[in-house]
Structure 1
Amino acid sequence: MKKFTGWIVFNGHITATKFTELFEWLRDTALTKGIDVTLVKHYELIPVIEKGQAKLKGKYENQRPDFVIFWDKDVRLARHLENMGLKLYNSARTIEVCDDKALTFQELSNYGIPMPKTITAPLLFPNCNLTNYDFYDEVEKELGYPLIIKESFGSFGRQVYLIENREELLKKVDELKHVPHIYQEFIESSRGTDIRIQVVGKQVVASVLRKSESDFRANVTNGGKMFKYEPTKEQIDLALKCSEILKADFAGIDLLFGEDGLTYLCEVNSNAHFKNIYLCTDVDTTKYIIDYIIEDLELNA
């Protein structure tokens, strides 16, 4: 069997232990499975288009790994690596769509995916100011109160806001007028509660229930607690369908409990953290990720 080589590309400016330990964990799992993997800071890769060809310069310009685990959101760098012929897990397109919440819901529309009613905010350039509020009158009519505003780019629930009335809506609209965001129906029956399902390839490898007694968001970062959870067939099928549509090699799928008994999609994370899930379930997601990559590389060798 060929000994594969790989890179784990991550944002080199992020130095907090809760992030760096994830990269090291992935590397160590790969090494135990006989794969020669190198941790590569994203700024160590100099993407150059020279004479019309995508190339790398700098420290790694003469290296070509068999694969790249792209654990960052720099989609331009990811696309450059793909243009050079490198195989990425996840792909640049998957990362791009999952990182942008507006794109996530647009990409998953028309597939019968149950999701909160969603409205994408209109684009407003930084040198422009709001001159008309008719759009937000329609948001009120469509969603009612309370409603949710989510910035298109954000993590750990920090850029998600619960809006209770028109005064709060217009205040937040003014704050975010130059920031891409979406408006969503608030699923009251899932207040402070959601499901995180970890998908690798075409299987669910772990799932947890997240619950907060003090916040409308269930994120552990915001004070939520995590519990082992056995998903229903409907929830498993929904998570796998979302992952398949987005062509994700691995993903964290967040689901909400609807009042009508349905499960609703909340969001999709292309590089979902796995430490808390491991502490809750004893499932080491990295083993599934590396095994999946090995199998995929051998299949396409």
Structure 2
Amino acid sequence: MNKIGWIIYNGNLPGNKFLDFAQMLHEAAKEQNTKTYIMQNNNLLSSLSTNRLELLTEYEVPDFVIFTDKDIYLARQLELIGIPVFNRSEVIETSDDKIATYQVLANHNLPIPRTIIAPKVYTNREEKYLPNLDHVINQLGLPMIVKEAFGSFGEQVYLIHTKDELEEKVKELYGKAFMFQEFIQSSKGRDLRLQVVGDRVVAAMKRFSTEDFRANITSGGIMEAYEPSEKAKEIAISASKAIGADFSGVDLLFGENDDYIICEINSNAHIRNLYDCTGINAANEIVEHILKKLRDSRG
């Protein structure tokens, strides 16, 4: 019997890019003779009681789920009731939290910018106790990056040039999780996006901007197809595997002497720009990988 899957996206977010990703996966599954349904997360309610976990839905539960959202609780609920989820909730949770991501990467001895985690603050109070900013500057230098732990599309990332700017930004972010990070000058306004599926890089593009230190397309960056080196591929695959992802978009910065530095790992990276840029539809590779993994799990 052919398996039936759900492709879950966030139904509360504006715009069509989130639905578009789900539709690309849905069409790829259809081409591989697999039936899927596109579902909004807000139509699926998780129910808990002393001796029962269930999903409140009028639909029959699927054999597997491709999860394109960051609703970690829903992803975990699906796993707890026995449904394979791609990517797993633990992967989504780690990827969504950039501090947690860097900790995992550092533990795997993978190249990341030098990073200092801001101390945890529980409330945004009028009287603010700041970390030793002189010590941070001595360690990382100026300019430096201040990056919030949670954010998307290159937002919540700030380039800081002076101590006064740094103090102002720390006060502004008081109560949020964030980090101080070395600014990779050699990669200013340019980076690489590598789409990893399983043990392979299936597509890649270079992004660059002449107007912004970030190269994200949503920040005005320009994209072009790119053939990454074996070293870049190896780092991207290792990064994806380190967080346990079945598929991910890995962003690499250009370091000195042809080195690469991991900027981010996106467990649910949108693939439309990558397709428009390279002509490669990563959805086909993602679905093929998932179906093979499901077949292998049956023995």
- For the aligned pair, the TM-score class normalised by the smaller chain equals over 0.9
Q: Is the 8 A contact 1:235 1:263 kept in 2?
A: yes
Q: What's the counterpart of residue 242 of structure 1?
A: 239
CA separation in 2, counterparts of 1:264 and 1:53?
Answer: 45
1:59-138 matches, within 5 Å, as: 59-60=58-59, 63-126=60-123, 128-129=125-126, 131-138=128-135
Q: What's the counterpart of residue 45 of structure 1?
A: 44
Shift of 1:131: 4.2
Letter in 2 for 1:248: A
Letter in 2 for 1:175: E
Residues 108-148 of structure 1 show CA distances to partners (whole Å, capped at 9, x for unaligned) of 11322111001111111125455433432221111110000
| Unaligned runs of at least 5 residues, structure 2 | none
CA separation in 2, counterparts of 1:215 and 1:161?
Answer: 11
Q: What's the counterpart of residue 262 of structure 1?
A: 259
Q: 1:129 to 1:52 in 2, by over 3 A?
A: farther
In the alignment, structure 1 residue 226 sits paired with structure 2 residue 212: no
Q: Is the 8 A contact 1:130 1:177 kept in 2?
A: no
Shift of 1:58: 3.1
Aligned residue for 2:103, secondary structure, equals helix
Alpha carbon RMSD of aligned pairs, Å? Answer: 1.3
Residues 167-205 of structure 1 show CA distances to partners (whole Å, capped at 9, x for unaligned) of 110111011011111110000000000000000111100
Q: Is the 8 A contact 1:116 1:264 kept in 2?
A: yes
Q: What's the counterpart of residue 31 of structure 1?
A: 30
Percent identical residues:
42
CA separation in 1, counterparts of 2:295 and 2:131?
Answer: 56
| Unaligned runs of at least 5 residues, structure 1 | none
Shift of 1:94: 0.4
| 1:278 corresponds to which of 275, 280, 294 | 275
Q: Is the 8 A contact 1:44 1:59 kept in 2?
A: no
| 1:164 corresponds to which of 155, 161, 164 | 161
CA separation in 1, counterparts of 2:62 and 2:17?
Answer: 26
Letter in 1 for 2:94: V
Residues 212-253 of structure 1 show CA distances to partners (whole Å, capped at 9, x for unaligned) of 011000001111111111111111100010111111010000
Q: What's the counterpart of residue 185 of structure 1?
A: 182
CA separation in 1, counterparts of 2:31 and 2:228?
Answer: 30
CA separation in 1, counterparts of 2:37 and 2:165?
Answer: 48
Q: What's the counterpart of residue 284 of structure 2?
A: 287
Letter in 2 for 1:110: N
Q: Is the 8 A contact 2:10 2:18 kept in 1?
A: no
Aligned residue for 1:109, secondary structure, equals helix
